[in-house]
Amino acid sequence: MSSRLVVRTREIDPIEDPLAYADPARPLAWLRRGDGIVAVGDEVVQTITVSAGTGRPRSGAIADAWRELSADADIDDPLSLPGSGLVAFGALAFDEDSAADSVLVVPALVVGRHRGRTWLTTIRSSDDDRPRDAAPRPYGPHWAGTVGPGAQTPQGYQDSVRRALTRIADGELSKVVLARDLTGSIPAGSDLRRLVRALSTGYPDTWAFAVDGLIGASPETLVTVQQRTVTARVLAGTIGRGADADADTAASAHLASSTKDLDEHQYAVHSVLASLRPHTRALAASEQPFLLKLPNLFHLATDVEGELAEGGSSLDLVGALHPTAAVAGTPTPVAIKAIRELEPFDRGRYAGPVGWVDAHGNGEWAIALRCAQFTTDDEGIAVTAYAGAGIVAGSDPESELLETRVKFRPLVDALA
């Protein structure tokens, strides 16, 4: 690195729509209930990229590179709020063997908002003193995309579920999460901020994100670190919402008493606790799961809290936690192998960690669910969306297919 980073955060007047400052073609954003951080424009100071085949876990390589970059930075941040100071947006591949890159992107300008306070952070190399201006850009016209069956057709998905059930019956594994894909395109020049905004306003309790062409709204926090307090929310066990109040009550009661879903949930909780223990102190989880209500479905949820061990970072916890039983299966290494054999595509960053990290190791990371990868080429903008379901003994192939349809809905509706 030729020069160190110089970082300045200053409080500014409130901004109603931080997303308006993002680059329409390649937005970088992390939003929840209107708060979060957004990169201004398209200028990037640095990108840390880790590909397959390095011989070590990608999250570890990225964590070390980030520690080196941030340790040398000259940072002036009087606010010390979540997302102020030196930050990078990250999206990591689901599978170490994936052809997709894992990236940390450091933008030149960041607008942030937290509980009524707004700030602007400038990040530059010490040898670069060009002035930078933060200005909103008008949204482009409305657009609509088209998606249809991808490499895994609905029938193919049910066949994969049946093959997974055979493996479970044979005792090879207890659970495997199988996904399917939808592929299509959107018009060239589309303003992708519109999709982020639709997801952010339609699903305010999720993490709406846009990182390196990966856009989605995840209900599942992987891990959050703020002032060394570690929190994580485990989601596993799902049912669609009812058409009316009575059907809604019946659906939530069914999920809360479903042995299959409660077992699946416990697998996921135990996996998270076991992964976090070596990196934390005073780790605790609620004894019983609660029902998390989203606009289109219910999840079983459990919250976990602890204290980060000295010298650790949210990226270290990302490496320890991913992939969780909630998105891979149990035992996880066997489940990953089964996913490679039963899914006819590379997941890329779907179900991988997505979020941000700051110079102190604080950060917010979710699992990239309810999402799509957008790739721009000469033909236009290609889109691949993903959704999955946890397969355990007693799973029904048709029901699992329906669950993926429910999970596709937020993104498919927003694309339309």
The residues annotated as belonging to the active site are 175, 220
Longest alpha-carbon distance in the chain: 64
**Residue 196 to residues 23, 138, 199, 200, 414, Cα–Cα distance (Å):** 12, 15, 5, 6, 9
Whether residue 110 contacts residue 14, with contact meaning beta carbons closer than 8 Å, is answered with: no
From residue 11, alpha-carbon distances to 33, 81, 117, 160 in Å are 20, 11, 7, 52
Give residue for tokens 């049912």: 239
Six-digit token pair at 206?
A: 């999720």
Helix (H, G, I), strand (E, B) or coil at 321: helix
The answer to whether the CB of 355 falls within 8 A of the CB of 390 is no
- In eight-state DSSP terms, residue 277 is G
Question: What's the alpha-carbon Rg for the chain, to the nearest Å?
Answer: 21
Residue 377 CB burial class (10 angstroms; 0-12, 13-18, ≥19): exposed
What one-letter code names the amino acid at 26? R
Omega prior to 323 cis, within 30 of 0: yes
Q: What is the DSSP string of 294-320?
A: -SSEEEEEEEEEEEEPTT--HHHHHHH
| CB atoms near residue 248 (< 10 Å) | 15
Q: Which of 330, 294, 6 is nearest to 168 (CA)?
A: 330
Q: Which amino acid is at 302?
A: T
Distance CA 54, CA 294 (A): 39
Say how far apart CA 151 and CA 131 lie, in whole Å: 47
297 Cβ neighbours under 8 A, 6+ residues apart = 238, 239, 240, 241, 406, 407
Tell me the C-alpha distance between 90 and 223, whole Å.
13
Q: How many angstroms from the chain centroid is the CA of residue 343?
A: 20
End-to-end CA distance of the chain: 44
Q: How many CB atoms lie within 10 A of CB 12?
A: 14
